[in-house]
Amino acid sequence: MTGHLRIVGDRRADRLRVVAAHTEKALVVRCHQRLRGPYTGVDTVLRAVLPEAYRRWPDLVENHRVALLYGMPELAQLIGPPPRTLADEAPHEERTRFFGAGWIRCMSQGIVSFLVEYAQRIRAETASAFEVAFEEVHAAEATTRELLALLLRRADPSLLRVVVSAGADALSDELEAELAAFTALLAPPTCEEQPTAHQTPLQWAAVYVDSDCTDDDPRAILGYRQSDPQAVAHLHDERAESLERTATWGVRMSAIAYHREHGSDPTGSGRAALLAAQRHAVATGFSTAVVDLGLRGRGLADPRLREHDYWEFTREAAAACIPIGRLEQSMELYQELLRRFTNPKIHMMTSYSIAMLHTRFLQPRDHDLALQWQHNAVAIAGILPDPAERRTFSVFHDNGLALVEMHRGNRHRALELVESCITRLDAELDDDQWVLHRSQLLYNRARLLAALGRLEEAHADYTRLIDLDPYYTDYLSERARISRDRGDFDAALADYDRAVRLAPPFPELYYNRGTARARIGDHQGALEDFSHVLEMEPRDLDTRIARAELRLETGDLDGAEADADTGLALHPGEVQLLCLKGTVLLQREELDKALTAFDGALEKDPHYPAALINRAVTHFQQSRPGRAVADLSVALDVVGDDPDILLNRGIAHLADGATDLALADFDHALALPDADIDELQRQRRLCNASSTH
């Protein structure tokens, strides 16, 4: 058995026997989130392979440096530090960047790319697969489960064989789907009863606590439950102290926070450990962990005695609910803060957060309601008693108001607000104060200038941002977009290439570079970029369509059809894919099948121009010029005067015997820009010749 494996069993020891029986020399790693939180297990794999990879193939490590160290900064001991951004250097209270839903997934894609390429190089030398067994996946944190789903889909088991070993609990939907698609299922035999060991319940409890409460031996679990709670709390204290000496951030986020939470001082050292862990998770963008830590921290922070901590646990959890799609929970947490507290600053920041929910995330968007909430935040900021806080928060919330106004279509008003914020901070702060937030103000101004068509000024702002924060690659992508709008594809591609070198593999970045390459005729480069996106995210519809269109344009009908079929399997009834499928069949002269595809597209969208035009061609080739005229007439109603459509409708009219209508279409087309004058004149001559007979 050489494919990926899934092993399901109740006990870790039993599962590991199956791993040993079905692999040659697999690297076995534990993924229980209570050990080191997000990326537990992944960090073990990287720690095992990075020294050799860095020594033998430094280019491989360098290409993936940002992703490899993201969330696992301790690995810098092996390969050196990552490049730093302004957000990395900013104090916690100044870190205001929002991590989108795809941020951590993108980092995981980078790690997967590294592991796949590492396995390829190992296989080239040893002729054997690199095998990794991920154990306790049922207890893994969401980030690890997501990475395993990506790895199963992307890794060729002849190069990198993945074993997923877990209990019988259901895993995440994505991981379950990839396990079903790519693994063979094995179950260990039922193990024999273990002999009774002569240990007291407290001794078994110590075994359980020393495992960071991950041991699945029923005797240890039972001993933990039966022992005196004070004695157990003391065990947690001791374990936390022993871990503190060499703890990485992963250990602090998980094991230490857990032990302090269950130790003898949960509302003191436990609360402090959870708060420190949550702050690290916030700075990194581990949204699921932020929510988990925040909800646990709320339970230990008395809202009357620890108002600030309770508020911080809650607001960070509420914000982190957004990228993982838990919008209702986010709103409820914010509203609970408003019901519980009268502190003006809490109401100010919560009003801002609710405004952002309404203007950015909730469906349908309600920008007017967002305006109400943001006006409340601005009003409170303007009356804060401390002058420094009044200045800082007034600027922050005016910036938020600018975002709402931009979404309401008031771009000039939004620009006025942002420029006022920049002017006020420049006048009142030193250059080294609130650098990150001031860079975000400049970013907002650049986006507004671009939206208003002031491309030169926007380009200058992005250039300044790149100088300030050269490793934050969003700025390069935005400047590239402006260069494209200005027709300077060389400059755009230079920025895209630089961003690709510096950034983890954002699918959007490769898609944008691919479309730019296609525009200048670099079809091979575009194909490589689109293919890389689809290797990472096969459900990406825009890229699937773009690659199918590129293949169609370059004459690769088989490739275009394969993309259309794969896309339709993932997105049944998608209009553009149906139309692409029909176009391939039309070019193959499989007219009946083409007609079926175009009919299917137009059932979904009766006014889709490409399907109307191509169905008209199909009707014409099947000697139904009247139906071709009907489809082309609808297409003209949709797109307006178009010389090519008028030319084709005129040809169809002529074939249908309506020479007067044909002449009218040809004459109309001749009066339009970009008309094919020679062909229209030729068709007019044919028309006139036909009318004389």
The pLDDT value given to residue 431 = 81
Contact partners, residue 9, CB within 8 Å, separation at least 6: 15, 18, 165, 167, 168, 187, 188
Considering the entire predicted model, what is its pTM? 0.93
Share of the chain above pLDDT 90, in %: 90
- Indicate the burial class of 57 (C-beta count within 10 angstroms; 0-12, 13-18, 19 or more): middle
| Residue 61 falls in which region: left (phi positive, over 0), alpha (psi -120 to 50) or beta | alpha
In the CATH hierarchy, which fold is given to the domain comprising 515-572?
A: 1.25.40
The pLDDT value given to residue 92 = 65
Contact partners, residue 163, CB within 8 Å, separation at least 6: 4, 5, 6, 7, 19, 22, 23, 26, 131, 132, 133, 134
State in Å, rounded, how far the first CA of the chain is from the last one: 77
**How far is 590 from 643, CA to CA, in rounded Å?**
28
Q: What pLDDT band is residue 89 in, cutting at 50, 70 and 90?
A: confident
| Residue 213 falls in which region: left (phi positive, over 0), alpha (psi -120 to 50) or beta | left
Smallest CA-to-CA distance from 50 within 19, 15, 83, 74 is with: 74
- Two structure tokens written together for 225: 């439950």
pLDDT at 98 over 90: no
Encoded amino acid at 543, one letter: T
- Two structure tokens written together for 155: 């890794």
Which residue shows structure tokens 């002529």? 654
> For the domain with range 4-192, which CATH number is right: 3.40.50, 3.30.70, 2.60.40, 3.90.320?
3.40.50
Q: What pLDDT band is residue 159 in, cutting at 50, 70 and 90?
A: very high
User: Domain segments of the chain: what residues?
Assistant: 4-192, 515-572
**How many whole angstroms from its chain centre is CA 361?**
15
CB 361: neighbour CB atoms within 10 A?
Answer: 15
Radius of gyration of the chain (CA): 31
pLDDT at 1 over 60: no
Mean pLDDT of 48-72: 96
What mean pLDDT is reported for the chain?
Answer: 95
The predicted-structure confidence for 648-692, as pLDDT tens digits, reads as follows 999 999 999 999 999 999 999 999 999 999 999 999 999 888 776
